[in-house]
Amino acid sequence: MKKERIETILNELTSTGADFAEVFLEDKTTKVFDYIDRKLDSLTISDSSGVGLRIALDNQVYYGATNDFSKKSIKEVISNLTNNINSKVKYENIKLNRLKKYRNDTNTHYTDLDIKAKLKEIDDKIWNKDKRISQVSIILQNIEQNVTIANHTGLYKAENRIRSRIFITINFKDGEKLANIYYSKGLTTGADLLDTIDFDEVIADLIKDGLDKLYAKPCVGKVMPVIIGPGFGGVIFHEACGHAMEATAVADGMSVLSYDLGKSIASSKVTIVDDGTIDKEWGSTKIDDEGCETRKNTLIKDGVLVGFLIDELNDRKMHMGVTGSGRRESYLYAPTSRMNNTYLMPGYDSIEDMIKSIDYGLYAKKLGGGQVSTETGDFNFACDLAYMIRDGKIAESVKSASLIGNTKEILQKVEMVGSNLELGPGMCGSISGSVPVNVGEPTIKISSILVGGEESEE
């Protein structure tokens, strides 16, 4: 869309007195290679493009989206939005700045056929490893998203974002026993993501973990100390406190942490940051979806709550300044404050000491997803792979373990923090849709948490 047309739209959007107006343009191509059942079962190439229009007056927000760029369609959206506002006009004759472009450099040498050959090579290696493998699925996603953001202040910026992510899932079957295990890595880059992975090592780990899971015993449900492995284990902080530090919940007093700024809310071993600037990481962008450059935001420092993640319109209530955290899945969603790459900073405790310190507890080697209520702080996570700890040693694998707790309680119970920080990719769903994020942590020990399991007693 040409600059002059965007200016015209912004002027029409503010014509009834809106004190904020924004145009978000998106053009996206998604390629998905789905290798399953020993063949490239499908390749999907999906194009989408659309426009999202947002206006506000004070704290009331009106949003419209369409993928029909015709004048008639956009005029209808503008009219549906502006009809809600009748105020003194503050902005007239809006002119945009010179377009500022941001790129994420990639160095992809893979053709589609190269990718297919690489996926076949990985698939063959896996099937040859064990007779109990009942299915292998390898999915490679490659997404190119171009966004352009303009608003009533003259802001006019664009970013080209290329992301790739691979998923490997292996199913195992032995008689009536079923289990599956997965691996995932995502980066803000092209298919050269494949060059960053040692697949022999990944496959060996998956086979070992998958077989441990296949023969896992039911987990005992009770309160116990838990060690959580590095990387995706950081989802516990993403869910337990990350969402509660987003302005979406904080600004309206709807977060369990709304009134705790400056207070000690966690063990002194806890420092948590959200950093959208890390080169090539899955949750990184140069600018957020409101056109603000991303940054490294410290949220908890040595146990003290020191910051929130704030988008432009929620800052009208919070007056603390935006943090480059306004994100959305696509033009279909109004943006709001969201995380990028959120992780617990590494500490100095050794993993051996953590395990030795527990007589009876759980080692959650891999966590699955989770969920939190930001208002109450209650959260839950599934353990994808877990082992019992007995007498200071890792013992048998257990299935169906889940962790249930509360934000304020768990943050105070972080007793030991290792030095092996890793990040893990995921998709985070919230009111502005599903956005790519990294979670991360080193290995940690939680002094006690409720573990859910099928067994009632030993």
Partner 1 sequence: MKNKLIKLAKQEGIELEIYETKTKRTDINLLNKEEKLFQIVNTSNYIIKAIINGKCIKFATGSIKNPSKVIENIKTIFAIQDNDNENNLSKGYINNKEKNSEKLDYNQVKRDLLSLNSLKEKYPEIINVEINYSHYDKGYFIDNENCKMVDEGYYNEYSVGITASENNTNKVSYISFYSKKYNFEEFYNYILKRVESLIKKLDGNSCITKKYDIILKNTAVSDILRTFASMFDTENIMLNESVLVDKYKKKVFSDKITIIEDPNGDSAILKRSFDSEGTKTNYKVIVDSGVFTKRINNVEYALKSKEEATGNAYGVNNLFIKPSDDTFEDLVSKLNNGIIIDEVMGLHSGIDVKSGNISVQAEGLLVEDGKITKGLTMIILSTNIFELFTNVVSVGNDLSKSSPSISAPSLLLNNITIAGKE
- Of residues 305 through 334, those in contact with partner 1 by CB under 8 A are 332, 334
Nearest to 162 by CA among 146, 177, 176, 148: 146
> Cα separation of 135 and 176, whole Å?
15
| Bridge partner residues of 433 (DSSP) | 430
Stretch 187-226 residues interacting with partner 1 (CB under 8 A): 219-223
The token pair that represents 89 in the structure block: 């006009």
Q: Which is nearer to partner 1, 2 or 98 (CB)?
A: 2
Of 47 and 198, the one with the shorter C-beta distance to partner 1 is: 47
Asked if 295 interacts with partner 1 (CB under 8 A), we say no
End-to-end CA distance of the chain: 66
Does position 434 bind partner 1 by CB under 8 A? no
CB 74 within 8 A of CB 51: yes
Closer by beta carbon to partner 1, 67 or else 196: 67
**Pairing status of strand 393-399 against strand 217-218:** parallel
d(CA 89, CA 68): 28
Q: Does 59 sit near partner 1 (CB under 8 A)?
A: yes
Among residues 4, 5, 68, 204, the one that binds partner 1 under rule CB under 8 A: 68
For partner 1, the closer of residues 108 and 373 by Cβ is: 373
Q: Amino acid letter at 97?
A: N
Q: Pick from 356, 246, 266: which is nearest to 310 by CA?
A: 246
Does 50 sit near partner 1 (CB under 8 A)? yes
Q: Which lies closer to partner 1 via its Cβ, residue 44 or residue 97?
A: 44
Binding to partner 1 (CB under 8 A) within 370-429 occurs at 370-371, 373, 375-376, 378, 380-382, 399-402, 404
Question: Quick one: 79 or 196, whose CB is closer to partner 1?
Answer: 79
Provide, rounded to whole angstroms, the least separation between the CB of residue 187 and partner 1: 23
- 379 burial via Cβ count (<10 Å: 0-12, 13-18, 19+): buried
Does 77 help bind partner 1 (rule: CB under 8 A)? yes
Residues 311 and 349 sit within 8 Å (Cβ to Cβ): no
- Asked if 41 interacts with partner 1 (CB under 8 A), we say yes
Helix or strand run (H / E) with residue 144? strand 133-151
Tallying the residues shown for the chain, one arrives at: 458
Helix-then-strand count for the chain, H and E: 9, 23
Distance CA 24, CA 40 (A): 35
Decide: is 244 part of the binding site for partner 1 (CB under 8 A).
no
| Residue 179 is a binding residue for partner 1 (CB under 8 A) | yes
According to CB under 8 A, which residues from 95 to 154 bind partner 1?
112-113, 116, 134-135, 137
Query: At its nearest, how many Å lie between partner 1 and the CB of residue 154?
Result: 25
The binder of partner 1 chosen from 64, 225, 242, 436 (CB under 8 A)? 64
Site string for partner 1, 4-33 (x = CB under 8 A): ------------------------x-----
